[in-house]
Amino acid sequence: MKLVYPAIFYPCEEKKGYTVEVPDLTGCISEGDSLVNAIEMGTDAACGWILGELEEGNDIPKASDYKDIVPDEPDGFVNLLVLDIDSYIERYGSKTVRKNITIPAWLNTYGEKNHINFSKVLQEALLLKSQSN
């Protein structure tokens, strides 16, 4: 899943960089020592914010139209951040959820006899399925 959110960039004279704020993601603020670094840091912060919401089972806010976003300071400007949530989750998602499953007894016996990690097999199968969609 890829998402696009507008972000406001404010030059920071003291640090010779930029502060980045994603208005649709309350409290999502980052900074970078160059414009490129600020875009990367803002993207990382926004992905982390969204991952946290998804792991908690919350809905994520809809992105505002970038034309509706106005910087609070005259030297601020708006830019779009492209968030690759699937890629971010693969790298940083860590919350686990316990699931009970039902399988035939013979398959359970086979798995135990062959020291198969049922959770690992299920995770790998689900990841393969998600990548084929």
Could you count the other beta carbons within 10 Å of the beta carbon of residue 63? 19
Against a cut of 0.75, is the pTM above it? no
Q: What is the mean pLDDT of each run of 10 residues along the chain (133 residues)?
A: 94 87 96 94 94 86 93 94 88 72 91 90 79 61
Where are the domains positioned within the chain? 2-92, 97-133
> What is the rounded distance in angstroms from the CA atom of residue 68 to the CA atom of residue 87?
28
Answer whether CATH 3.30.160.250 is correct for domain 2-92.
Answer: yes
- Residue 133's pLDDT is 57
- Residue 94's pLDDT is 66
DSSP-derived secondary structure letter, 129: H
